[in-house]
Structure 1
Amino acid sequence: MSKRQLIAAGTHFEKIFGYSRAVRVGPCVTVAGCTASAPNGPVGGPDIVAQTAECLQRIKDALEEAGASLQDVVRTRFYVTDISELEAIGRVHLSFFAGILPASTIVEVSALAHPSLLVEVEADAFLDS
């Protein structure tokens, strides 16, 4: 059985719900839904592009802590409160994943954990080595 590595971000949500920001088991890393949540409102304020960039940066940081990188990402999932922002979100995704091109899904949801949050992103990575 592979050793389980837990990566925490230290958010209050992790304590409330009992989950990890990311979990690595062997060559697989799963990153939980990341938002731009911050104590004084979301990073990027009401700008979905800025919030998306923050989400992807948090994923990148969690992957690195797990010994992985964006190059190892095979899947991303986006939950957005306004699907009409698809192209803007896509441009941010491309800026992080150009040349990697993971499988990706984007769906519109009625709400996220707080009304100020506009996007939540998950990622799965697989390390070849």
Structure 2
Amino acid sequence: MKRKLISSGSTFEANIGYSRAVVQDNWVFVSGTTGYDYSTMTISDAITEQTEQCLINIKHTLEQAGASLSDVVRVTYILPDANEFENCWPVLKKYFGEIRPAATMFSAALADDKMKIEIQVTALKSKNT
């Protein structure tokens, strides 16, 4: 199968040179996704709202790839302030509570000080998706 590239239209993708996601066979690799609303290029100040928007963005990307959140097998959370991670848990449980992918969280600076969380996922499309 040929590799398929998916773009969100974000200026970051064009300026840096990457894809929102890469689909290879049944695998979907979604780049680190922040809480920007790509249609307006705005971002909330609240980490919970950023987390929600990250997952909305990821869900939309997976759908473009012919996959869904239930196909996610791995998730990585990156936060500049690890102490804020617990605030994200209710949102993460809302989206991944039943799916329960393998997960890692680490603290690192992000590309923009407005960003409070970045989420990256890997999905394996099921035969039913």
| TM-score, with length taken from structure 2 | 0.91
Tell whether 2:14 aligns with 1:15: yes
CA distance in 2, matches of 1:102, 1:65: 20
Q: Give 2:21's aligned amino acid.
A: A
> What are the superposed Cα offsets for residues 17-47 of structure 1, whole Å, 9 maximum, x if unpaired?
21110111111000001112355641xx221
Q: Tell me, what secondary structure is at the counterpart of 2:99? A: coil
Q: Which runs of 5+ in 2 are unaligned?
A: none
CA distance in 2, matches of 1:26, 1:41: 33
User: Could you tell me which residue of structure 2 aligns to residue 4 of structure 1?
Assistant: 3
Residue 128 of structure 1 deviates from its aligned partner by 2.7
- In the comparison of the two structures, how many residue pairs are matched? 125
CA distance in 1, matches of 2:48, 2:73: 22
User: Could you tell me which residue of structure 2 aligns to residue 114 of structure 1?
Assistant: 112
Cα root mean square deviation, aligned: 1.3
CA distance in 1, matches of 2:119, 2:18: 16
CA distance in 1, matches of 2:29, 2:106: 19
Instruction: Kindly indicate whether the alpha-carbon contact (under 8 Å) linking 2:74 and 2:102 is maintained by their aligned counterparts in 1.
Output: yes
Instruction: Kindly indicate whether the alpha-carbon contact (under 8 Å) linking 1:41 and 1:116 is maintained by their aligned counterparts in 2.
Output: no
CA distance in 2, matches of 1:40, 1:63: 20
CA distance in 1, matches of 2:22, 2:77: 19
Superposition pairs for residues 1-129 of structure 1, below 5 Å? 2-38=1-37, 41-42=42-43, 45-109=44-108, 111-129=109-127
| TM-score, with length taken from structure 1 | 0.91
